[in-house]
Chain A
């Protein structure tokens, strides 16, 4: 399934949240090219289930749309991509977003990404875990799209579904 901006914006707007920014607001200003968003989409492709096709639009809305301090995040994003690319170069010989999906998985599995600490003020890798990987996971598993895959259309952290209370199954 493709995660689209239209679906995401509709969902968040209905719930009272408007995406505060987009590529040009966060990722675009970092380097002036598409690499930040390519990196995030490349990460999401291996973090999210295989049936899901992450898009820049989804990330803009569900991840960026819930970041209020854009300036701080922009700095963390730039630093995180640099760290990620260093790990990718050491492991697979290229920038993260240029690698195949298998190579990207390999980078994660052979480093402290995911398995190591995730801390806002920790090591370089701990900050990548916190600001990039966990932000992407939060975006997905607190969205209706991620929630529906586990039978829950309004997971915690997503503003929707107030008062939803189906009848008991007899």
Chain B
């Protein structure tokens, strides 16, 4: 299946998808940026309605999706039914950009397939211009966001080590003890001790038993499917919001936002339902939380006489300063060593943040590097077996030969914001509702590429130090991008495009995440990031969403 058809969703055509009367807040998107925000507002007595473009997935069917993940026939986008006319997009930039392999539309959003690695951004990420003379500062600081980080970590359940070196300072303990280092983490740690490289535990949103959801059961498939539910996904807080009275309308893609005569407030979100009907949801406040690809598109599609270049785009910056975290990876084989891949369960437990800060802070030449050591490097035994033509003993011999000695490091790399990297819309291509699709135009930057080189060198040195042979060491943002395997290509962690700022002439939202142009429209998304840092962004997205929820609550009270 590749066109959003699934026999394993809970949604049915009998579901009531008519608008909610007298809603206080309409949230567009049931992913991480919308879930906690909705829960926070519902918890304070506000009537919340969530419009979600995708379906509500059946949890029981996660085992099937996990099997799809391990089956060599399926590409990553098929695991959660992404692709087809609904999810069409264009890439007018220099590189392909496989966004449907990196996102999920449905209740829980992309957190359904995330890796659940949750480091915070660093203090310096908020102050790049004043500290390093590059990019620009956020209008808020790490200190402004710190209490919200702690709140999110408590809500979603993070296992982490308070004493981890390099990570930003914290004043609160993680809610769960850290995951222990895996066998291969320890191999990297041992090699690192010889090279002066520190390997440490990584904060992970995986339940080790303290939270009110299943504990991790060790499937080893966190990215892209956690059948047990031990990995946090945002459907958890969508459900909690519903228990507090929020309404979720799934399979209800919003077509446009309409504003009142003066262009000062949004009056309704126009959405379509599977029966072909068009509905209009009114509310006092609207929150666009549809991700950094779809949110700018929705605003462009909502152009009007008052906003001819797109809603909330008086600054002309809508869609601009788009960023991603270019991935890079190193894979090695350590001859004769059983590296115990797969046996540990969680795909990530350790990492290296020693190269997040710059070698020369006065003259940074390269991007920050966020490295995580992998506990399931290379294909699984089942994948190898299904991929082979052999049977019986010869098949076992093949799998036994290929499996068991791999080690790997994946990394996400900082990317500087640039005006010419942008999300737009492609008028020549339309989706299943006849709307122009998003267009990604992003080109390589030397700063990011040098960060990749640093990470690849460190990773390769570590593998060679443990006696291994590096068999793969590549990253995107290079001229070879289009020839990389699916996991090596970009598209991860979309950020920017609706950036935050104090100056309405240079940004889309203000420090409260309210758009400068419209009094009742907020944006909760990685799109508001001013700089990318290198940390996996979902924790920050959720922290910002809780901050926005506080501001929305204040607005509604007023």
Q: A47-B395, A141-B381, A154-B343 are in contact. Are A160 and B179 (CB under 8 A)?
A: no
Residue B214 at the chain A interface, CB threshold 8 Å: yes
- The residues in B between 331 and 356 inclusive whose CB is less than 8 angstroms from any CB of A are 338, 340-346
The residues of B with any CB-CB pair to A shorter than 8 Å are 1, 7-8, 58, 60-61, 63-64, 66-67, 70-73, 179-183, 185-187, 190, 208, 214-221, 227-228, 338, 340-346, 376, 380-386, 388-393, 395-396, 399-400, 403-404
A150 to B388, CA, bound (A): 16
Q: A149-B396, A150-B399, A156-B382 are in contact. Are A162 and B345 (CB under 8 A)?
A: yes
Q: A118-B73, A164-B343, A165-B182 are in contact. Are A156 and B396 (CB under 8 A)?
A: no
Residue A2 at the chain B interface, CB threshold 8 Å: no
- Of B179, B214, B343, B376, which contacts A161 at CB under 8 A? B343
* Chain B CB within 10 Å, residue with most, of A49, A146, A165: A165
A48 to B390, CA, bound (A): 10
Q: A165-B181, A168-B186 are in contact. Are A155 and B392 (CB under 8 A)?
A: no
- Chosen A-B contacts, 21 in total, with CB atoms closer than 8 Å, are A46-B391, A46-B392, A47-B392, A50-B393, A68-B63, A105-B391, A120-B73, A137-B382, A138-B385, A147-B342, A154-B218, A156-B219, A156-B221, A156-B342, A162-B215, A163-B218, A163-B344, A165-B186, A165-B340, A165-B344, A166-B340
Q: Is the CB of A150 within 8 A of B382?
A: no
Residue A153 at the chain B interface, CB threshold 8 Å: yes
- Of A15, A49, A118, A166, which contacts B392 at CB under 8 A? A49
A52 to B75, CA, bound (A): 32
Q: Is the CB of A105 within 8 A of B392?
A: yes
Q: Looking at the assembled complex, report how far the CB atom of A75 sits from the nearest CB atom of chain B, in whole angstroms.
A: 12
Q: Looking at the assembled complex, report how far the CB atom of B88 sits from the nearest CB atom of chain A, in whole angstroms.
A: 21
Residue A96 at the chain B interface, CB threshold 8 Å: no
Residue A91 at the chain B interface, CB threshold 8 Å: no
**A120-B1, A141-B399 given; 16 more Cβ-contact pairs under 8 Å:** A67-B64, A69-B64, A114-B388, A130-B73, A142-B380, A151-B338, A154-B342, A154-B345, A155-B342, A156-B70, A156-B342, A157-B380, A159-B228, A162-B215, A164-B345, A165-B186
Q: Is the CB of B380 within 8 A of A47?
A: no
A160: B residues at CB distance < 8 A: 217-218
- Of A68, A105, A156, A161, which contacts B380 at CB under 8 A? A156
A68 to B227, CA, bound (A): 12
The residues of A with any CB-CB pair to B shorter than 8 Å are 15-17, 46-50, 66-69, 72, 105, 108, 114-115, 117-121, 130, 134, 137-138, 140-142, 146-147, 149-168
Q: Looking at the assembled complex, report how far the CB atom of B334 sits from the nearest CB atom of chain A, in whole angstroms.
A: 12
B228: A residues at CB distance < 8 A: 16, 159
A66 to B69, CA, bound (A): 14
Q: Is the CB of A69 within 8 A of B345?
A: no
Q: Is the CB of A50 within 8 A of B392?
A: yes
Q: Which chain A residue shows the least CB distance to B345? A: A162
A46 to B394, CA, bound (A): 11
A151: B residues at CB distance < 8 A: 338, 400, 404
Q: Looking at the assembled complex, report how far the CB atom of B222 sits from the nearest CB atom of chain A, in whole angstroms.
A: 10
Q: Is the CB of B7 within 8 A of A72?
A: yes
Q: Is the CB of B61 within 8 A of A16?
A: no
- Of A67, A72, A119, A141, which contacts B73 at CB under 8 A? A119
A87 to B553, CA, bound (A): 67
Q: Looking at the assembled complex, report how far the CB atom of A134 sits from the nearest CB atom of chain B, in whole angstroms.
A: 5
Q: Is the CB of B391 within 8 A of A152?
A: no
A147 to B342, CA, bound (A): 10
Q: Is the CB of A162 within 8 A of B218?
A: yes
Q: A48-B392, A69-B8, A114-B389 are in contact. Are A168 and B190 (CB under 8 A)?
A: yes
Q: Is the CB of B61 within 8 A of A68?
A: yes
Q: Which chain A residue shows the least CB distance to B182? A: A165
